[in-house]
Amino acid sequence: MSCPLLWQGAVVLRRRPIRPERRRPADVVAAVAIVVVLVVAAVVYGTHSPLAGTESVPAAGPGTAPQAPLDVPDAFAEAWRAPSSAAPLPVTAGPGVVTADGGTVTGRDATTGAERWHYTRDRQLCTVAEGFGRVLALYHDEEHCNELAALDGDLGTRKDQRTVDARPGARLLTSGSQVVVTGPDHTEAMRSDLVKTLEYGAITAPAQPGRQPRSGCTYHSFAATAGRLGVVESCPTDTVDRITVLRPDGGGDADTPQITFSSRLPETGAQVVALSAERTAVVLPGPPELQILDAEGAQVSLVGLDIPESEVAPPPDGVAVTASDTQRTYWWSGSSTIALDRTALAPLWTLKGTLGPGTSYAGQWVVPVPRGLAVVDPTRGVVRRTVPVDRGGYSGSVALAAKGDVLVEQRGTEAVALRPAG
């Protein structure tokens, strides 16, 4: 029996040496195979995941939004401008303004335009939008648009991401806590955490086939509001267009669409321009008319519109150009701004010769016109005054958004920020 040995006050135990376990050849082969699989998986993930080719530089700290204006000034001066070709509308998120060009989303100080953060991928952006205080960026992956990232609007850090099934030309529609991705034969909706709640149309490799109501349909026009998504579609079994209203928040499996109603329209070439909790507004061709449908798809009214017939068809991306305040939705037909009651969707007034639907600024409604910005009485559609803006020869459409006293104009592929002059 071994006994402890005392040496300079320490106790030393005699122990048998531990011999390493000899591995069998089969164990060694299995271990090597596991390592190889892990290495290959790491390489594949590193080269194909959204982390590959990504540069994210967040803001150093929270930003500060510009102060709210007290009135529409008598003059605006250009504060800054930046390329923003991937943004169909001005994007304001957090305390600042966001631009999107190439593969880069940039968060900017609203007042100076200085960069606060950026998020860059080694591929091109398809589109961007603001929703639930975040910036939603949809990127190309080969020929599709299927990498969606949600960025914090203030700091620029990535919050959520998912793969979607979209095509070039897709738009992101946000309302409440939902985001909808449009497409010519497929659309899907997600919650604010990007968990899928709806798929409608042609689904690649569906988990359970036969859950879609119709096949072979193409989608021409989209509009969304909280809890409702409107789609104008053409189907092989119909000789006219069809308006379908769905629940984007689901209520069951995502690949089983929850349809509120689906009704045939009188003609082809229609577009849906607005939805409310109980109404759907569709523009019909022929003599241009606004058809208003109730919650079951029955016609409530049919109102003539004073616009050219060429402006009835939906725009190329399928999304009507609209803006809203607490009482009205403003639709831009292509040459006129038409105010609709936000609940009943009945037309209230038409202002001709405009460049976009407008936006709220200092508690008033401001509409872009060729000579500048028209300050409009939102109740009657009467122009109170016009603030001159020099756009340097640009004469295309203008989408507006406000962040404090900064007014941002989306002029084609460029964002231009205006501030009160003087």
Q: Which of 82-91, 195-204, 230-239, 266-275 has the lowest mean pLDDT?
A: 195-204
Q: How far is CA 413 from the centre of its chain?
A: 17
Q: Which residue has the tokens 């007014």?
A: 407
Provide mean pLDDT across the span 86-101. Answer: 97
Whether the predicted pLDDT of 48 surpasses 90: no
DSSP symbols for 68-109: PPSS--S-EEEEEEEE-TT-SS-EEETTEEEEEETTEEEEE-
Provide mean pLDDT across the span 132-160. Answer: 94
Q: DSSP state, 61?
A: S
How many helices (H) and strands (E) are present in the chain, helices listed first?
A: 1, 35
Instruction: Using CB atoms within 10 Å of the CB of residue 36, give its burial: 0 to 12 exposed, 13 to 18 middle, 19+ buried.
Output: exposed
Would you state the pLDDT for residue 213? 87
Whether the predicted pLDDT of 391 surpasses 60: yes
Instruction: Phi first, then psi: give them for residue 390, nearest 5 degrees.
Output: -90, 110
* Helical segments of 192-300, H only: none
CA angle 30, 35, 37 (to 5 degrees): 95
Provide mean pLDDT across the span 99-113. Answer: 98
Whether the predicted pLDDT of 44 surpasses 60: no
Whether the predicted pLDDT of 421 surpasses 90: yes
What does the alpha-carbon distance between residue 123 and residue 8 come to, in Å, rounded to a whole number? Answer: 70
HSE-CB of 196 using CA atoms within 13 angstroms: 16
**Global confidence as pTM:** 0.86
Would you state the pLDDT for residue 205? 61
Residue 51: pLDDT band (50, 70, 90) is low
| Both structure tokens of 207 | 């988990």
Which residues does residue 150 pair with via DSSP β-bridges, in sequence order? Answer: 136, 160
Would you state the pLDDT for residue 372? 98
Whether the predicted pLDDT of 26 surpasses 80: no
Residue 39: pLDDT band (50, 70, 90) is very low
Residue 203: pLDDT band (50, 70, 90) is confident
Whether the predicted pLDDT of 17 surpasses 90: no
Would you state the pLDDT for residue 25? 52
Provide mean pLDDT across the span 333-340. Answer: 98
SS (H, E, C) 284-348: ECCCCEEEEECCCCCEEEEEECCCCHHHCCCCCCCECEEEECCCEEEEECCCEEEEEECCCCCEE
Cβ atoms within 10 Å of 310's Cβ, excluding its own: 11
Cα-trace Rg, the chain = 28
Whether the predicted pLDDT of 105 surpasses 70: yes
Residue 320: pLDDT band (50, 70, 90) is very high
Query: Are 368 and 387 a contacting pair, CB within 8 Å?
Result: no
Would you state the pLDDT for residue 27? 52
Provide mean pLDDT across the span 159-187. Answer: 94
What does the alpha-carbon distance between residue 395 and residue 398 come to, in Å, rounded to a whole number? Answer: 9
Condensed to tens digits (0 to 9), the pLDDT of residues 216-229 reads 999 999 999 999 99
Provide mean pLDDT across the span 379-383. Answer: 96
Whether the predicted pLDDT of 286 surpasses 70: yes
Q: How far apart are the first and last CA of the chain?
A: 99
Whether the predicted pLDDT of 269 surpasses 70: yes
Would you state the pLDDT for residue 394? 96
Whether the predicted pLDDT of 124 surpasses 60: yes
What does the alpha-carbon distance between residue 218 and residue 201 come to, in Å, rounded to a whole number? Answer: 8
Instruction: Phi first, then psi: give them for residue 188, nearest 5 degrees.
Output: -145, 155
Condensed to tens digits (0 to 9), the pLDDT of residues 53-77 reads 899 999 999 999 999 999 999 999 9
| Both structure tokens of 257 | 């669409």
Residue 207: pLDDT band (50, 70, 90) is low
Cβ atoms within 10 Å of 289's Cβ, excluding its own: 18
Condensed to tens digits (0 to 9), the pLDDT of residues 299-313 reads 999 999 999 999 999
Condensed to tens digits (0 to 9), the pLDDT of residues 162-172 reads 999 898 999 99
